[in-house]
């Protein structure tokens, strides 16, 4: 991989993992948290991603992409857990 862009992958992974840790902690400690609430935040992130009129630059683009991916993954995992629970 080209060294000049390797930092993008490093930053993406860092933000993604931090976001997942934060979401996990929030779910553990906030019993009122719902998938619907997280989906609302994700929808807002999609809007922020699309509102890039002035240009965020590579760091901003990387950060928002990692946040979106983390929310998508977390919501998907939570829904999969719920599906398993209902099928038992």
Q: What is the pTM of this model?
A: 0.88
Q: How confident is the model at residue 83 (pLDDT cuts 50, 70, 90)?
A: confident
pLDDT tens, residue by residue, 13-58: 999 999 999 999 999 999 999 999 999 999 999 999 988 777 889 9
The pLDDT of residue 5: 83
Question: Residues near 45 by Cβ (< 8 Å), separated by ≥ 6?
Answer: 64, 67, 68, 71
Sketch the domain layout of the chain as residue ranges.
Answer: 3-87
CA atoms within 13 A on the CB side of 6: 4
**How far is it, in rounded angstroms, from Cα 25 to Cα 46?**
23
Q: How confident is the model at residue 85 (pLDDT cuts 50, 70, 90)?
A: low
């Amino acid at each position: 991989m080209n060294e000049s862009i390797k930092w993008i992958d490093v930053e993406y992974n860092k933000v993604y993992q931090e976001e997942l840790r934060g979401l996990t902690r929030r779910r553990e400690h906030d019993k009122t948290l719902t998938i619907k609430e997280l989906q609302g935040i994700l929808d807002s992130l999609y809007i922020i991603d699309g509102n890039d009129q002035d240009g965020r630059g590579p760091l901003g683009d990387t950060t928002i992409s990692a946040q979106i991916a983390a929310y998508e993954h977390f919501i998907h995992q939570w829904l999969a857990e719920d599906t398993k629970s209902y099928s038992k």
